[in-house]
Amino acid sequence: MSHNYRLIVSCPDRVGIVSRVSSFIASQEGSIIEANQHSDLATGRFFMRYDIRANALSAHDFRIAFAPIAEEFEMNWRLSDSDRRQRVVVMVSKESHCLVDLLYRWSAGELDCDIPCVISNHDDLRAMVAWYGIPFHHVAVEPDDKASAFAEVERLITAAEADSVVLARYMQILPPDLCQRYAGRVINIHHSFLPSFAGAKPYHQAFERGVKLIGATCHYVTEELDAGPIIEQDIQRVSHCHTPQDLVRLGRDVEKAVLARGLRWHLQDRVLIHGNKTVVFS
Amino acid sequence: MSHNYRLIVSCPDRVGIVSRVSSFIASQEGSIIEANQHSDLATGRFFMRYDIRANALSAHDFRIAFAPIAEEFEMNWRLSDSDRRQRVVVMVSKESHCLVDLLYRWSAGELDCDIPCVISNHDDLRAMVAWYGIPFHHVAVEPDDKASAFAEVERLITAAEADSVVLARYMQILPPDLCQRYAGRVINIHHSFLPSFAGAKPYHQAFERGVKLIGATCHYVTEELDAGPIIEQDIQRVSHCHTPQDLVRLGRDVEKAVLARGLRWHLQDRVLIHGNKTVVFS
Amino acid sequence: MSHNYRLIVSCPDRVGIVSRVSSFIASQEGSIIEANQHSDLATGRFFMRYDIRANALSAHDFRIAFAPIAEEFEMNWRLSDSDRRQRVVVMVSKESHCLVDLLYRWSAGELDCDIPCVISNHDDLRAMVAWYGIPFHHVAVEPDDKASAFAEVERLITAAEADSVVLARYMQILPPDLCQRYAGRVINIHHSFLPSFAGAKPYHQAFERGVKLIGATCHYVTEELDAGPIIEQDIQRVSHCHTPQDLVRLGRDVEKAVLARGLRWHLQDRVLIHGNKTVVFS
Amino acid sequence: MSHNYRLIVSCPDRVGIVSRVSSFIASQEGSIIEANQHSDLATGRFFMRYDIRANALSAHDFRIAFAPIAEEFEMNWRLSDSDRRQRVVVMVSKESHCLVDLLYRWSAGELDCDIPCVISNHDDLRAMVAWYGIPFHHVAVEPDDKASAFAEVERLITAAEADSVVLARYMQILPPDLCQRYAGRVINIHHSFLPSFAGAKPYHQAFERGVKLIGATCHYVTEELDAGPIIEQDIQRVSHCHTPQDLVRLGRDVEKAVLARGLRWHLQDRVLIHGNKTVVFS
């Protein structure tokens, strides 16, 4: 029986990394299905992602055998088992378009993950989530007691054994300590072409400024609002004919598309964080 | 012999404007070749642009006959003679791509204007401009005596009887009084997707932020740097593979395209300024 | 109480049409909310679409009062009541993405229509349609008795009092007489950038040819397969990395977007058919 | 002194290729600057492109040392010296936009090649080419004696020691034997989104069909007209407002961009031909 792994590496760039890693894989009778690598010239850092098929080797044995190489090259690395689906908790408020889109793609097999639950600060989308057979948790966030709400949110995330969390238009700001504990694992969709129009009501900001394109940005959540590493962005043309409500409507399509692409790449270990930027092997 | 005019109007929106204007044109035996109109719901303002062919009527007579209607509807209006080419002064620094593109399009008949001269703060592009038979003026801008440089620039613009000025990557900031005197007539190309990355070195700012799309913005120049009414914008996809130099190279193509579209629309009286925004009948 | 109408006109182009129509509307104390017009220079035909708000006038009275003008200018015209929602029957096979997208947009208020029923040649999507409270009819199409199947399909369309029919990836070819009876009222989404790859399995054709962009086309159905007037098209970049299955997956997003835009414009009377082409006042 | 090479390989896919090649490069003290690889699942063929920096090794010695590995893996391969600029002959007719664009990019350092000469069947563009200091050859193609014209064309190409030939809107069909002798080395820009509108006057065909997007295709020339392997494509949105002349004007920008990208990738050995398709490591 064959196993599929993904080896994700970043390390200081130097001669011989590819040779050493690929020889190791060949020595274990693994074959490389897909290979991506990138040398960042500005920082001298090297990134690689190998999709590997191995017949005999277990993940455990792979990790033990690979450790000395990783140490020699000062690698920051992980091996993920492609056959094990990530567990992704989705968080929403009242706006349904991103959730509807994610659930459709998930049910159509486009997103290779399990969704143990959906958490919302409103109860509006319960029926839709129920239709997909997914548990729905309503955790209201009261302005004067956010701490207890987010304690409950974190309890649910932990109980769900979530690998990643997706903020699919969840209109609350996560507390800093939660951002830190899940660094690189919480994905947000922001409804503007960042860094333009960070913060609240970006479509209204865009309308006021009179831009001719609106956009959306999928990024990892960090403590600083709307400032984390960008995974994916896209835009939609608009004109003087469009009201703020039109921008909201047109923007929904961009948000859905950008979040779906960003999440899909994240689930396939195609997104490597590099400082406040990303390397995306799409 | 027939004449072609463009009637550009903005006024408070109310019932009967189109009827009154189109009846006037019909009464003068003019035919409407192209009509564009827009009601801005937020401000209650109405905008229209009519392309008119008239057999007998002179521009002078048109203006006299139309004035009472304009007064009745409190119109801000102008009639331009489509057969008279605008005079456009182009200003550049050392980067040639926008200039090369504009001159090619001008010679190919894509830009319906005369170019009485090119003004630059460097002498580098003189030979290229000379090849097109266009006068080239080198006006150095010394940091400690910008005033005299811009006095000379304005003298040249006035002497050229310029209707409009294009800053085709002119890397100097025009003085406020010049911006005011030529309000709505100076077009700039900024090498970012405004409002992101206003100011200096936008591609380097974009690189640092790790955006996945870069852009360019064509806008009218106002006293506030990179904050004037936006005419046109576009973007280009980039990735972690691209260095700041790659962004500069890829951005050149977007800058050229966006500036050419914006200028073409401006020359055809398709851009109406509305506060700090534009109505573009493209 | 005010009424909203849309006046759609095409006629031979000549002086005075706009004046006459807009004066008529003003005389009826109607105001023009949005106006679009187009002169086709090659054929000398004029097209217009006026969004009108009238306080007193009924549609019936409007039609009677307007008829003489229409006759004088040899107009092909119709007045639709914007406040009356079109009835749209949706037809599908097994692929659900376009249906899911349409139903979501419909429930979110993006598509201004009623959906009296969904008809399918398979039973797979019944539960999804039921969730939206819409009747679902399964009409199997047997290869050796298509005639009776399509007789039943037409009976259902008639019973639903459908204004329009959308083929949202309905993988059967409608019989010619049905196409004729519903000319200009049946919208199809074809999963290629027509006229490339008409007919079956367009993504596989695209893969074989090695194109670098795939597309989708929303068009009116005519007797000739995939050859009717095009309403809207869009594309998605692909590469050598993509298998035919990837093209199918990526193409789904383009299909959904293109069909939704085309249908929305159709429902707003923004699409005027001109021979085998369309004028789209988007 | 360091040398830069590009190793381009295609071979049957099997375990150990990357390991063997990268170990060979490491053993020669070469470092891999950029690596691209692709496994074509449908045909079981493997493609790779390595950008290599080597301190001591000459191209000659590299080829000798690598030959046994190439033989073992049944490789179709070549090693190109990145420091040696390709020689590219450009062929044009009367339309200048692609030529102007290529010459600008070449002079700006975007295209890493020498241009030994430009060949045209008309004399119109001589002065422009002369301005760049590039020899210009006028070879008229008479309908009744094409053979002698193309004999002269081939003589000039040979004399120029051309590595590649670019048909930058050269409106003549090359004879089959010339196509064969320069297989994979002649790049054409076709002014449609192939396979739509192959042959003559594609913009007029597009206008007649009423498409909503026009395109351009950069491809390798083969004996069959407009049917060779596609390197790059792009599109531009159009509408019912556009005349065939507008399509021609708008299409010029797409043609320029697509040809420039395709040629740039070709010059960097990023385009590998695979049957009638391409693998493009862009």
CATH code, domain carrying B48: 3.30.70.260
CATH code, domain carrying B265: 3.40.50.170
Q: Please judge whether B97 and D110 are an interchain contact, meaning their C-beta atoms are less than 8 angstroms apart.
A: no
One domain, residues B92 and B76: no
- Domain boundary pick from B60, B81, B102: B81
The one catalytic residue in B226, B234, B246, B253 is B226
CA distance to A119, B59, B220, D9, D17, per residue, from A153 (Å)? 8, 71, 48, 52, 49
Q: Please judge whether B232 and A243 are an interchain contact, meaning their C-beta atoms are less than 8 angstroms apart.
A: no
Provide the b/e sequence for B19-28 (b: ≥16 CB within 10 Å): bbbbbbbbeb
Mean pLDDT of A188-193: 96
Mean pLDDT of B246-268: 97
Amino acid identity of B73? F
DSSP state string for A22-59: HHHHHHTTEEEEEEEEEEETTTTEEEEEEEEEESS--H
Confirm whether B226 is a catalytic residue.
Answer: yes
3-class DSSP state of D203: helix
Counting DSSP H helices and E strands in chain B, the numbers are 8, 14
pLDDT tens string B96-144: 999 999 999 999 999 999 999 999 999 999 999 999 999 999 999 999 9
Q: Which chains touch D (3 or more CB pairs under 8 A)?
A: A, B, C
The answer to whether B97 and B259 have CB atoms below 8 angstroms apart is no
Q: For residue C35, what are the β-bridge partners?
A: C50
Q: For residue D236, what are the β-bridge partners?
A: D214
One domain, residues C131 and C194: yes
One domain, residues C182 and C239: yes
Amino acid identity of C151? A
C-alpha torsion sign, points C9, C13, C19, C23: negative
One domain, residues C142 and C211: yes
pLDDT tens string D227-270: 999 999 999 999 999 999 999 999 999 999 999 999 999 999 99
Judged by average pLDDT, the poorest of A216-220, B263-267, C2-6, C145-149 is C2-6
Assigned token pair, D227 = 């049917």
CA distance to B233, C104, C168, per residue, from C258 (Å)? 23, 15, 11
C-alpha torsion sign, points A151, A156, A158, A162: negative
The answer to whether C97 and A103 have CB atoms below 8 angstroms apart is no
C-alpha torsion sign, points B149, B155, B158, B162: negative
Query: What's the Rg (C-alpha) of chain D?
Result: 21
- Domain boundary pick from D81, D98, D126: D81
Amino acid identity of A239? S
- In 3D space, the residue among C7, C57, C51 whose CA is nearest the CA of residue C27 turns out to be C57
The rounded distance, in Å, linking the Cα atoms of D191 and D205 is 11
DSSP state of C174: P
- Residue of B210, B229, B276 with shortest CB distance to A278: B210
Assigned token pair, D67 = 């030959």
The answer to whether C207 and C247 have CB atoms below 8 angstroms apart is yes
Which of C190, C192, C212 has the highest number of chain D CBs within 10 A, making it the mutation to test binding with D?
A: C212
D257 CB neighbours in chain B (<8 A) are 253
HSE toward the beta carbon, residue B26, CA cutoff 13 A: 16
The rounded distance, in Å, linking the Cα atoms of A58 and A71 is 20
Mean pLDDT of A117-126: 97
Beta strand D76-81 pairing with D86-92: unpaired
For residue A44, give how far its alpha carbon lies from the nearest alpha carbon of chain C (Å): 28
Which positions of chain C have pLDDT values less than 50?
A: none
Q: What's the pLDDT at B1?
A: 64
Q: What's the pLDDT at A1?
A: 64
Q: What's the pLDDT at C41?
A: 86
Query: Would the pLDDT of A194 be above 70?
Result: yes
HSE toward the beta carbon, residue A195, CA cutoff 13 A: 18
CA distance to B8, B67, C25, D155, per residue, from B72 (Å)? 16, 9, 20, 75
The answer to whether C217 and C192 have CB atoms below 8 angstroms apart is yes
The rounded distance, in Å, linking the Cα atoms of B228 and C207 is 46
Q: For residue A9, what are the β-bridge partners?
A: A48, A77
B213 CB neighbours in chain A (<8 A) are 193, 215, 233-235
One domain, residues B73 and B93: no
pTM reported for the whole predicted model: 0.96
3-class DSSP state of B231: strand
> What is the rounded average pLDDT for all residues in chain D?
95
pLDDT tens string D145-198: 999 999 999 999 999 999 999 999 999 999 999 999 999 999 999 999 999 999
Quick one: residue D22, left, alpha or beta (phi over 0 = left, psi -120 to 50 = alpha)?
alpha
State percent of chain A over pLDDT 90: 91
The rounded distance, in Å, linking the Cα atoms of D137 and D117 is 7
Q: Please judge whether A41 and B194 are an interchain contact, meaning their C-beta atoms are less than 8 angstroms apart.
A: no
C278 CB neighbours in chain D (<8 A) are 210, 240
Q: Highest mean pLDDT: which of A33-37, B13-17, D44-48? A: D44-48
CA distance to D26, D125, D213, per residue, from C86 (Å)? 69, 58, 29
One domain, residues B69 and B170: no
The rounded distance, in Å, linking the Cα atoms of B267 and B109 is 13
Cis peptide preceding C143, ω within 30 of 0 = no
One domain, residues B108 and B244: yes
The rounded distance, in Å, linking the Cα atoms of D165 and D90 is 6
Q: For residue A117, what are the β-bridge partners?
A: none
- In 3D space, the residue among D28, D26, D36, D82 whose CA is nearest the CA of residue D56 turns out to be D28
Looking only at Cα atoms, what is the longest distance across chain B? 63
Q: What's the pLDDT at D100?
A: 95
Q: What's the pLDDT at A247?
A: 97
One domain, residues D14 and D154: no
Amino acid identity of A157? I
Provide the b/e sequence for D183-193 (b: ≥16 CB within 10 Å): ebbbbbbbbbb
Q: What's the pLDDT at A15?
A: 86
Q: Band the pLDDT of A31: cuts 50, 70, 90.
A: confident
State percent of chain D over pLDDT 70: 100
Which of B10, B36, B212, B240 has the highest number of chain A CBs within 10 A, making it the mutation to test binding with A?
A: B212
3-class DSSP state of D117: coil
CA distance to B66, C25, C36, per residue, from B24 (Å)? 8, 16, 19
Q: Which chains touch B (3 or more CB pairs under 8 A)?
A: A, C, D
Mean pLDDT of A228-244: 97
The answer to whether C139 and C93 have CB atoms below 8 angstroms apart is no
Amino acid identity of C5? Y
3-class DSSP state of D83: coil
Q: How far is CA A49 from the centre of its chain?
A: 16
pLDDT tens string B216-235: 999 999 999 999 999 999 99
DSSP state of D192: S
Query: Would the pLDDT of B57 be above 90?
Result: no
User: With an 8 Å Cβ cutoff, is B249 touching chain D?
Assistant: yes
Assigned token pair, A70 = 């990783």
One domain, residues C42 and C23: yes
- In 3D space, the residue among D232, D242, D223 whose CA is nearest the CA of residue D194 turns out to be D232
The rounded distance, in Å, linking the Cα atoms of C168 and C90 is 7
Domain containing C33: what range? 3-81
Query: Would the pLDDT of D76 be above 80?
Result: yes
Give contacts of A 28-87 with C, CB under 8 A: none
CA distance to C54, D16, D64, D220, D255, per residue, from D167 (Å)? 60, 40, 35, 10, 12
Other CB atoms within a 10 A radius of the CB of residue C49 amount to 21
Residue C239 phi, psi (nearest 5): -145, 180
Other CB atoms within a 10 A radius of the CB of residue A156 amount to 18
Q: What's the pLDDT at D1?
A: 64
Q: Is D172 exposed, middle or buried (0-12, 13-18, 19+ CB in 10 A)?
A: middle
Which of D212, D243, D270 has the highest number of chain C CBs within 10 A, making it the mutation to test binding with C?
A: D212
Amino acid identity of B243? T
Query: Would the pLDDT of D15 be above 90?
Result: no
HSE toward the beta carbon, residue D107, CA cutoff 13 A: 15
Assigned token pair, A215 = 């956009």
- Number of domains chain B is built from: 2
Assigned token pair, B154 = 């304005």
One domain, residues C31 and C138: no
Amino acid identity of D231? I
The one catalytic residue in A226, A234, A253, A269 is A226
C-alpha torsion sign, points D114, D116, D119, D124: positive
B274 CB neighbours in chain A (<8 A) are 240
Beta strand A3-12 pairing with A45-54: antiparallel
One domain, residues D58 and D93: no
> Cα D87–D92–D97 angle (5° rounding)?
100
Give contacts of C 199-228 with D, CB under 8 A: 209-213, 215
- Domain boundary pick from B35, B61, B81: B81
Q: For residue A223, what are the β-bridge partners?
A: none
One domain, residues A52 and A166: no
For residue C51, give how far its alpha carbon lies from the nearest alpha carbon of chain D (Å): 20
The rounded distance, in Å, linking the Cα atoms of A86 and A78 is 15
